[in-house]
Structure 1
Amino acid sequence: MGSFPSVLGQTLRLSLRAGGGAIIGLVFFLAVITVIPFGVGPDLNLLGRIGPAILWIGALLASLLGLERLFAADREDGTLDLFIVSGEPLVTFVLGRAFGHWLATGLPLVLAAPVLGLLLNVDPIALAAVTLTLLVGSPALTLIGAVGAALTAGLPRGGTMIAVLVLPLAVPVLIFGVTATNGAISDPEPFTAPFLLLSAGTLMALVLAPPTAAFALRLGLE
């Protein structure tokens, strides 16, 4: 695992440098949250009820940004070939890229969610539940996105294909996250089961997604 910190650090530098993946994701997240009230109307009670779902959908869509560049540049400049030749497990490379991408783009969305939730009149309990579920579930979105990025790394206009591949797989994460949040609002008891399922989904993605993405990258190089 010696190469993991270097891959992680490089991913963070690239994400926070030119291209501004973190800033673009936050701006897109803000745009989604601010546009919804214009479509729904000024009903604060309605916005408060659907606000957690809007926050989750906005975070899901914003997490797709930047995935196209996750492995494409490494495939083009030969970084993947050099990593494979070095003898390091390709899973380590995938984990470093995915975790770095989440720190640069996913974590800022989690931190921004309670602030943006105030614009939707979401009550404090719901804001806390949204933040907690996003903190647990957003890594799963990134890991699923890494599989899509690996599958489309060598394709032109891979960004569109990533969205097509990732969105259906991310729906269960969205469902469990929103269900857990709604459970925390209505009654503390229903929160536990969907939250545990959300946590299990993230752990499953952590186990299955990196080797799947690594296999896709290796297959694309052959």
Structure 2
Amino acid sequence: MTALLLRDLRLSVRAGGGAMIGVLFFMTVVAVIPFGVGPDLNLLARIGPAVLWIGALLASLLGLDRLFQAEREDGSLDLLLMQETPLVLTVLVKCLAHWVATGLPLVVAAPLLGLFMNMDEVAIGATMLTLVVGTPAITFIGAVGAAVAVSLPRGGLLVSILVLPLAIPVLIFGVSAVYAAVEDPAPFLPPFMILSAITLFFAVLGPLAAAAALRSGAD
């Protein structure tokens, strides 16, 4: 599993610079907002958490179609299906590698973009915390879409269409937790705990459903 994790990390870096592309897309989405809403710093500070979360969500969708694509192209997907290690565990490791390569750089870039949106320290810290907890759920949801679309010739767009509606609750509770922390620290815990529960739920369901979809596609 460690070898698989390191291999996927290397592929993520080599395959078009997946991590860098996600961060650049994240920065682009956030950078164009002031041109649309105007240079009102108070308005930017109010919408900043929502903008960062939307940008992170869209950036997380970019590389999901490649989650199982390399194995499909070189034929190693069949070996993963036949190996003694449970396929669910393999999918979980691949999801972890994908999040480290694409999701974690978004979390690291969030403070700089938060300053760009005139957000204060509390809002930036809460946004980073919710992104750390919430973005893995997007990866686990995306694993199911990637497994369903891996055998299709143009599955990239299909993955985004499948994943985006399911990721809306992650966006809602992530943004709600940040705004709760900014307005009053006390209400921060309920939406944050729900966000954590969503991530834990999909951490179990996502690999199971993705493994089932991979086996079904192979049959």
Q: Distance in 1 between matches of 2:109 and 2:83?
A: 39
The residue that corresponds to 1:82 in the other structure is 79
**Among candidates 4, 11, 15, match of residue 12 of structure 2:** 15
**Among candidates 169, 172, 177, match of residue 174 of structure 2:** 177
The residue that corresponds to 2:145 in the other structure is 148
Tell whether 2:42 aligns with 1:45.
yes
Tell whether 2:213 aligns with 1:216.
yes
Tell whether 2:33 aligns with 1:36.
yes
**Among candidates 82, 95, 103, match of residue 98 of structure 1:** 95
Tell whether 2:54 aligns with 1:62.
no
State the AA in 1 paired with 2:144.
V
State the AA in 2 paired with 1:150.
A
The residue that corresponds to 2:193 in the other structure is 196
The answer on whether the counterparts of 1:11 and 1:96 sit within 8 Å (CA) in structure 2 is: no
Q: 1:194, CA displacement in angstroms?
A: 0.1
State the AA in 1 paired with 2:8.
T
Q: Distance in 2 between matches of 1:205 and 1:86?
A: 24
Q: Distance in 2 between matches of 1:206 and 1:115?
A: 29
The residue that corresponds to 2:115 in the other structure is 118
* TM-score with structure 1 setting the length: 0.97
Q: Helix, strand or coil for the counterpart of 2:39?
A: coil
**Once structures 1 and 2 are overlaid, which stretch shifts more, 72-81 or 102-111?**
72-81
Q: Helix, strand or coil for the counterpart of 2:214?
A: helix
Q: Distance in 1 between matches of 2:83 and 2:188?
A: 46
Q: 1:90, CA displacement in angstroms?
A: 0.8
Q: 1:16, CA displacement in angstroms?
A: 1.1
The residue that corresponds to 1:166 in the other structure is 163
The residue that corresponds to 2:125 in the other structure is 128
Q: 1:76, CA displacement in angstroms?
A: 3.0
Give percent identity, aligned residues only.
63
Q: 1:188, CA displacement in angstroms?
A: 0.9
Q: Distance in 1 between matches of 2:128 and 2:73?
A: 37
Q: 1:69, CA displacement in angstroms?
A: 1.1
* TM-score with structure 2 setting the length: 0.98
Q: Distance in 2 between matches of 1:210 and 1:193?
A: 26
Q: 1:26, CA displacement in angstroms?
A: 0.5
RMSD over aligned Cα atoms? 0.9
Q: Helix, strand or coil for the counterpart of 2:23?
A: helix
Q: Distance in 2 between matches of 1:61 and 1:85?
A: 34
Structure 2 unaligned regions, length at least 5: none
Q: Distance in 2 between matches of 1:16 and 1:73?
A: 13
Q: Helix, strand or coil for the counterpart of 1:42?
A: coil
Q: 1:96, CA displacement in angstroms?
A: 1.5
Q: 1:77, CA displacement in angstroms?
A: 2.1
Q: Distance in 2 between matches of 1:96 and 1:77?
A: 19
Q: Distance in 1 between matches of 2:28 and 2:4?
A: 31
Q: 1:54, CA displacement in angstroms?
A: 0.2
